Every structure is written in C-alpha cells, then in structure tokens.
Structure 1
Amino acid sequence: MRDILVTLLVFGGLPFIFKRPYIGVLMWVWISVMNPHTQGWGFATTFPFAALIGAVTIASLLFTKEFKNLPLTPITWVLIFFVLWMNVTTVFALYPTEAYLQWNKVMKIMLMTFVTFMLIKTKQQVQLLIWVIVISLGYYGVKGGIFTIKGGGTDRVWGPENTFIGGNNEIALALIMTIPLMHYLQSIVQKSWARHAFTVAMLLCAVAALGSYSRGALLAIAAMGMFLWLKSQHKLGLALLGIMAIPPLLAFMPEEWTQRMDTINTYEEDESVQGRFNAWWMAFNLAKDRPLTGGGFEVTMPELFYRYAPDPLDIHAAHSIYFQVLGEHGFVGLGLYLLLGLLTWRAGSWIVRNTAKRDGYKWAHSLATMIQVSLIGFYVGGAFLSLLYFDVPYYLMAAMVAIRVLVEKGLREEGGKVVEKATDQSVRTPQFGQVASSNQQFFVQNPGSNSMSVGKS
C-alpha cells in the first residue's frame, strides 16, 4: 500500500512540475530527504524516483518561460568554486574507481542544489521548502519519539536504511536541525491546535534525538539551545521552559543512556572516540602529504590508514565534516567549505539586522534566525559525523540566499533604511550569467524620517 501511495504521489505530481518548476524542487527535497519509498516493502524501494523527478525538473527549467536566474551572491560563487574543486580532486583521486562512484552521487546533489537556488525565489516558495524539510524529517522525529517513550528509552532510534540519516547519530543530528525550523513554522500558523501540535512534535523530536544514544547529538542540542537563548527576545520564558522540560526528559532516559553520555567526560577510555581521533589524524596527515587536492573521494582505505594513521589497524570513516573535507579535498577544500559556512552565517546576520522591528519582514527575521540556529546544530554535531554531503544544509543555504535577495529588493523598492553597510552579502538579482557588482553604492530613505543611509551592492 505504501509503495502504491508513493508512486501515485510522484507520478501524479510530475505534470505540475512542467507548469510550476519549483514544485519539482519540493518533490526532489521530499524524496531525497525523507526517502518515503524506503518505508515500503515492494517495488518502490528500488525505483529511481529521485532521478525521474530530477530529470523532469531540469527539463521544465530549460523550457519554461518563467523568469529564472542563479542569484550570484558570494555564497553562490563559493559553492560553485567548491563544486569545481571537488571535480579537480576527483581527477587526482588516489582511488579513481571508488571516487567516481561517490562523485556521481555528490554531483547529482549539487546539481539539484543549484536548481534550488534558481527556482526557490518567493516568500511562499521559501516557506514551502521549509515545510517540506520539516515534514520529511519530522515524520521520523515524531515516530522515533513515540518509539522511545513506549520502550522507555531502552532501544535506540535509527533512521531509514541506506540513506544519509540511516544511522542513529545521523538521524539524531537531522532531527536536532529540524526543531528550530519547526519553531519557525509554529510562529506562522494561525490555528491554535496547529501551534500545540508543533510543540508536541518538537518535544518528540528531542526525545527521539536522545533516544538515538548519540553523544554528538547531545552536544549539538546544548550548543543550539544556548544560541537560541542568546538570540531570543524572550530569554526568561525560554529559560523557564528549558528548566521545566529538560530535567524530566533526562530523568526519563534509562541508566544505559546515562552511562553512555557520561563517556563524554572519559573519552580517553572510549574505543569509539579514540577510533575517531585515529581517523582524524589519518585525514590530517594525508592532507599534509597532499595539501592541495587531498586524496579525493573515498579515502577510508586500509592502505591509507597503514601509511597515515597512528593506529593502522583501527579503520574508521572520518566521522567529522571538517576532517572529511580535509582528507578528501585538501586544505583548499576545507577553506572553501568553511568560507561557505561563514558567508551563510553573515547573510543570516544581515537579514536579522535589516529586518529588526519591521513588521513586513518579521517572517524573514524569524526564519533567518532559525536557519542560523539549525546550522549551529549541524556544524557542532557535524564535527563528529561524516555528513559533508548531507543535502539539507545546502537547501538551507539556498533558502538563506533567497531570503536575502527578497529583503534587499523589498527595502530598495519601499525606500527602507538599511541598518548598516551591507558590504559582505549585498546582491543584485542579475540574469543568469550576469555577475553582481559588490562595489556599487546605493542610498535608501527611511519612510517617515529625513535620515539617509548608505550601503553597497
């Protein structure tokens, strides 16, 4: 039944993609993030739904008469250079055959990421993208939370098999990233029952993350919660909510969970942690030997551990987005990836600054903040997981770029006041192939006042 339902939804949605190509992006995100076909047991589990949706979306993008462009912001340019650099490192990969297989997967993700940049342009489309991400991951959060409560937390929560989020650590991080996005959607729904439903869903996602027994997830929750508190305008209320909710959740978990979390303080004695350190040293030593290109995709090989790792017999994946990019794409790749994260953060900060106390852009202010909170969770939790190519952070980058473009365009048209010089992320929305200047000055007038401020675009 599930196989038939997924098949009907996909094939029933294909005709709408030709009329509105952005629907193809939403369907792609749903299939690639949620992987609903893995919840069945028949033919749908192996049917190439993602390839079909991707092909139809790209075809509609090429033939549609709608305005389409790639917003050439600093974020976009760095992502382009990062993708190009991954192609360079593949040419010089130590294991060409294995590298090509991974390259093929990653390039499909990056291609659809750029399609997302091009097609998600309006407020409604950005919000629909967030809805799809939340529904796709929230399904596992609600399901996993109920599973944890019913079992008393004795069994671990796992994600869908053979996906980015199949492991217990991976699904935990994905659910942590989802909670801030749920909080944003909760703030825009009108019905009180919907707001209460989101509260329950967020709590269940938190319970599911704890039920995964992931130590990295616990650290990510702590970092994300602290940042959310710092950014919140209701610090006292948020602190009281944390005091009321966190102790009962921790007390609910069994002794086995507490013992595993306690190993954070005794990491020197934990074999799993020491194995990760061993993999990190291997990646670092490999990058020192090949500083520009690294080893290319797929460097978790016995020969490389024998040559570069302190313990050549303890073979692990990188278990860190930072050491993963370092080992596979060298110091250049690491620099581009860190710069990509920094620019995304600064774009969010620009949005928050320039939409503060503007009722018309309250949605942008709130969403940019929650995306920042979500990415904090990812960048902290990702320090302990091999999720460099997990697609959700890239979709959030696309959403951040779209919000930035909408806010800047709206402020110019309305004569709104820009809070400070926007030298870091100012963008125009040029036609595809046209480079946006970063030095052109513009002046905007604050309605109802005589003040004038200067910025750059």
Structure 2
Amino acid sequence: MFDLFLVAFFFIALLLGLKRPFFWVLLYMYVDSVAPQKMGWGMITTLQLSLIAFLAAFTGWLLFDSKKGSRFTFRQGLILALLAYAGWTTMNADFPVEAAVKWEWVWKALVFAAFLPLTLRTKLRIEAAVLTIVLSIGLIIINGGIKTVFGGGGYGTLSLLVKEDYGLYEGSILSTATVAIIPLVLWLTRHGTIFKPDWRVKAFAAALIFACLLIPVGTAARTGLVCLGVLAVLLLRSVKHRFLYMGLAGLLAVAAFPFLPQSYTERMTTIASHEGDESASTRVRVWTWTMDYAERNPMGGGFSAFLGNSFTYNTRTVEEVGGQKVVKYEEVTDEARAYHSSYFEMLGEQGYPGLFMWLLLQGLGVWQMERIRWRYNRKAVADGSGEKSWQWGLATALQQGQIIYLVGSLFVGIAFQPFLFMLVGIQCGLWSYEKRTHKTVKKARIAKKRQASVATGEAATA
C-alpha cells in the first residue's frame, strides 16, 4: 500500500509537468533528496525514479519551457569543467569498478547543478526550488525528530525513512544538511509567497527548526554540534539585537543541557581530544595518508582511491582502576578507510586540479552572495529597503547554508553531495537573476535621466 502511494505521488507530479514543465525540475529535486525508491519494499524499488525525473526535467525545459531570461554563468562552466575532469579520473581510477559506482550518481548531481540555474528565471521559481529542498529534507527531519524525542536516537542507531546510509540518510551528513537549511526556513517565513507567512506557516517553521536542532542529538554526530556553533555565529551578522540574541542563545543552551542524553554528551566530549576516540584518530591518519598519496599522484586516483590506504596507529584511553586513572594505549591497524573530509576526498580522488576547481566553485559562491548583500546594503542607505528585500535575505540564507556545509565538510566526505550542488545551482540562479534585473533597472534609470535632461533643455530653450 505504501509503495502504491509513493508511485501514485510520483506519477501525479509527472502529469502536472505536462501543464507546467518546471514541475519536473522540482520533482527531480524531491526524488534526489528523499529517495522514495529506497523507502518502499515492492515494485517502487525496481523503478528508476531518479533517472525518469532527471530525463523529464531536461526534456521539459528543452522542448516546452521558455528560455527567456536564461543565462549561463561562469560557475556553471566551472561545474562542467569539474564534471569533465572527474570523468577523466574515473576512466583512470585506481579502482575502476568502485569508481564507476560513484560516478553513476555524481555525474547527475553535477549536470543538474549546471542545468538548474537555466530554469530559475523568476522569483517564484527560485522560491519554489528553495521550498522543495526545505520540505523534502524536512520530511526526513520530522521523522528523525519525532523518534529522537521518544528515545530512538543514538550514534548509528537513529532509524529514518531509509535504513541504509544512502544520500542524506547518513547521520553526519543529515546533521550538516539540517543545520544548513535553517536559514532557508527563516527566509521562507519572511518572504514566502507560495505559502504566505501567516501564523500557521510560522508555527510550522518553528516546529521544523526545533526538529532540525534535534537531529544532531538524535544522530549523536559531532559534526552537527560544530555546525550549530557556526550557525549561531553567522546569525550575529543578520540579527538586529545582537546582545539580546546572544543572551537568549546562551540561556537556551544552558536550559537544554539537562535534557540531553548521557551518550550524546559523552560523545561530544571527544571533540576536544581525538586520541581517545578510534573514529577521530582514524580520520587524522587517513588525512596524513591522503597528503602523502597526493604527492605521489598529483592528478588524483579517481573515486574510491581511499580503498588503497593502510596504516597502524595507537589510541589513547583513560580508565579508572581502584580510584586511580590509568592511561592505556592500544595499537590499531586499519585499511580502506574513507576520507571523512570533503577536502581530502577531493585531494585524494581528483588531485590538486580537482580540489582547486571545487574550492574556486565554493569560494565564488560565498563571494557572489556577499556581493548581492553589499548591493542591497548600499540600496538601504538610499531608501532604507535593502535588508528588507527578498534578494538580500535569500543571498544571506544561501551564504550561511553554504558556509555551514563547508564547515561540516571538514569532517564528512560530501564533496559531491547532490544537496550541496542544489544550493550551488540556486546561488547561480539568484546571481543570474540579479545581474539581469539589475541591468534592466539601471537602463531604465539612465533612460529616465536622459528624458529629464532633454525636458530641462527644451524648457531652458523656450
């Protein structure tokens, strides 16, 4: 029955796309985020929903959608360059079979990220893309938040809609994504038009944000705690009453501490010292191995190159024996351990060229969103409306979400995560929209000044 519901929902969305082809773009964003084909048990698992939605999105735009206002930006070209380079490293990978498995979904994420901005021609479409991401991930978040409240959390034990670590369903990845969408939720409560921000929308948004805060607790992922700290700092730039905000944030943290599970607080204490935690110790060793590997293979080893690593190290634990603390060291040998960092993932798999393109892509995103903020801050000086505009708010939210994701990427291998590239696609769409509308407004102002100057000259002559 559940499978029938998921299949029916998917095909109803396909039918809606016959009237509005942009629905197919949103459908692919939903499928790639939620992975409904992984949620069922019967016939839905045999359907290539992602591929169907992917082909429908491209076909709909190519044959039926208007191209007016579509622009191709430098960052979209950079995404395609990264795609081509990743394809080359895949063909020359150290582990061709495993590399091909990852390439099956990476190429779709990159192609869709380069394609998405071409469809985001209006404010309504940009908002619809943001809303689709928020509600799609919100489906996972609400499920995980409810189970956390009723005691179903724990590191590697939180049961979500999909039982395997697929896409966003891995604990650290989900924790990072949930914190990253909080600024987008706040933006929708101020500037949303699809669901106008009345008390019902604001109540739902508040509940969703609360669920977002519960996910790092439910997954017991240290990355989530770090991302929450980054979000708290970033929000200082956009809140009006900073001292009141800091006081309330501190009070909330103190009030929430007694309700946190002991297993969660014990795991968070390992952030300060990695020697006592095997997982953290392994990451440091993998990063060291990756740097040595990159010196020998500067062009990268292709996807899953980490399968060739092997190293031995000592872990340090402190135990209490007879009222005294005893330090014990244990020798551990590991091999084929994942990078646990997007930066080292790019370095090991794509080498220095791939890492440079990836960092340039991310850095340009932060800079472009800051440029939009700066432009509307200047406008605020003139008419006081800059920071109240939807463009300023969305640029701020996208920048904050990206920075949070980049910080989370320090500890999780999510360099090619589709969610991140959807954010990049929306950034490119907003940047393109801003350049087009800004030029139109600028031309109108110039024309108006010319008309005023001609009228003044004719009056003087008369």
Q: TM > 0.5 between the two?
A: yes
Which residue in the other structure is 2:97 paired with?
97
Which residue in the other structure is 1:71 paired with?
71
- Provide structure 2 residue ranges, at least 5 long, that are not aligned to the other structure: 313-330, 454-462
Kindly indicate whether residue 255 of structure 2 is the aligned counterpart of residue 221 of structure 1. Answer: no
Task: Identify if the C-alpha distance between structure 1 residues 370 and 380 changes in structure 2 by more than 3 Å, giving closer, same or farther.
Answer: same
Measured in 2, the distance between the counterparts of 1:416 and 1:187 equals 30
- Conserved? CA contact 1:164–1:387, under 8 Å: no
- After TM superposition, give the deviation of residue 405 of structure 1 in Å: 2.0
- Conserved? CA contact 1:278–1:311, under 8 Å: no
1:404-435 superposed Cα distances (whole Å, 9 cap, x missing partner): 22223222222399xxxxxxxxxxxxxxxxxx
- For 1:388, what is the secondary structure of its paired residue? coil
Pairs within 5 Å for 1:7-406: 7-64=7-64, 66-67=66-67, 71-151=71-151, 156-159=157-160, 160=162, 161-188=164-191, 189-291=196-298, 293-301=299-307, 303-305=308-310, 313-356=334-377, 357=380, 359=385, 362-406=389-433
- For 1:203, what is the secondary structure of its paired residue? helix
Measured in 1, the distance between the counterparts of 2:274 and 2:138 equals 31
- Conserved? CA contact 1:31–1:50, under 8 Å: yes
- After TM superposition, give the deviation of residue 202 of structure 1 in Å: 0.2
Measured in 2, the distance between the counterparts of 1:28 and 1:313 equals 38
- For 1:313, what is the secondary structure of its paired residue? strand
Instruction: Give the partner amino acid of 1:185.
Output: L
Task: Identify if the C-alpha distance between structure 1 residues 339 and 132 changes in structure 2 by more than 3 Å, giving closer, same or farther.
Answer: same
- Provide structure 1 residue ranges, at least 5 long, that are not aligned to the other structure: 418-441, 451-457
Pairs within 5 Å for 1:367-446: 367-415=394-442
- Conserved? CA contact 1:287–1:326, under 8 Å: yes
After TM superposition, the score normalised by the length of structure 1 is: 0.85
Measured in 2, the distance between the counterparts of 1:178 and 1:132 equals 11
Measured in 2, the distance between the counterparts of 1:330 and 1:445 equals 53
Which residue in the other structure is 1:431 paired with?
none
- Conserved? CA contact 1:179–1:202, under 8 Å: yes
- Conserved? CA contact 1:158–1:168, under 8 Å: no
Measured in 2, the distance between the counterparts of 1:33 and 1:175 equals 12
Which residue in the other structure is 2:4 paired with?
4
More displaced stretch, 243-252 vs 258-267:
243-252
- Conserved? CA contact 1:152–1:252, under 8 Å: no
Measured in 2, the distance between the counterparts of 1:14 and 1:209 equals 34
Measured in 1, the distance between the counterparts of 2:142 and 2:184 equals 15
- After TM superposition, give the deviation of residue 313 of structure 1 in Å: 2.9
- After TM superposition, give the deviation of residue 222 of structure 1 in Å: 0.5
- After TM superposition, give the deviation of residue 162 of structure 1 in Å: 4.5
Task: Identify if the C-alpha distance between structure 1 residues 85 and 444 changes in structure 2 by more than 3 Å, giving closer, same or farther.
Answer: farther
**Aligned Cα root-mean-square deviation (Å):** 2.8
Measured in 2, the distance between the counterparts of 1:204 and 1:381 equals 19
- After TM superposition, give the deviation of residue 98 of structure 1 in Å: 2.1
- For 1:384, what is the secondary structure of its paired residue? coil
Instruction: Give the partner amino acid of 2:306.
Output: T
- Conserved? CA contact 1:25–1:115, under 8 Å: no
Measured in 2, the distance between the counterparts of 1:198 and 1:95 equals 45
Task: Identify if the C-alpha distance between structure 1 residues 416 and 147 changes in structure 2 by more than 3 Å, giving closer, same or farther.
Answer: farther
Task: Identify if the C-alpha distance between structure 1 residues 446 and 250 changes in structure 2 by more than 3 Å, giving closer, same or farther.
Answer: farther
Measured in 1, the distance between the counterparts of 2:283 and 2:49 equals 35
Measured in 1, the distance between the counterparts of 2:404 and 2:138 equals 16
More displaced stretch, 9-18 vs 270-279:
9-18
Instruction: Give the partner amino acid of 2:302.
Output: G
Task: Identify if the C-alpha distance between structure 1 residues 388 and 35 changes in structure 2 by more than 3 Å, giving closer, same or farther.
Answer: same
Instruction: Give the partner amino acid of 1:294.
Output: G
Which residue in the other structure is 1:437 paired with?
none
- Conserved? CA contact 1:86–1:333, under 8 Å: yes
1:85-126 superposed Cα distances (whole Å, 9 cap, x missing partner): 112212321122222222222112222222212212211111
Which residue in the other structure is 2:316 paired with?
none
Task: Identify if the C-alpha distance between structure 1 residues 444 and 169 changes in structure 2 by more than 3 Å, giving closer, same or farther.
Answer: farther
Instruction: Give the partner amino acid of 1:140.
Output: I
Instruction: Give the partner amino acid of 2:417.
Output: F
Measured in 1, the distance between the counterparts of 2:449 and 2:357 equals 37
Task: Identify if the C-alpha distance between structure 1 residues 444 and 369 changes in structure 2 by more than 3 Å, giving closer, same or farther.
Answer: farther
Task: Identify if the C-alpha distance between structure 1 residues 144 and 306 changes in structure 2 by more than 3 Å, giving closer, same or farther.
Answer: closer
- Conserved? CA contact 1:144–1:205, under 8 Å: no
Instruction: Give the partner amino acid of 2:197.
Output: Q
Instruction: Give the partner amino acid of 2:346.
Output: V
Measured in 1, the distance between the counterparts of 2:117 and 2:439 equals 22
Measured in 1, the distance between the counterparts of 2:74 and 2:188 equals 28
1:11-68 superposed Cα distances (whole Å, 9 cap, x missing partner): 1222333443321110001011012343333322342111111122222233226216
Q: Which has the larger radius of gyration?
A: 2
After TM superposition, the score normalised by the length of structure 2 is: 0.84
Count residues in correspondence.
421
- Conserved? CA contact 2:3–2:43, under 8 Å: yes
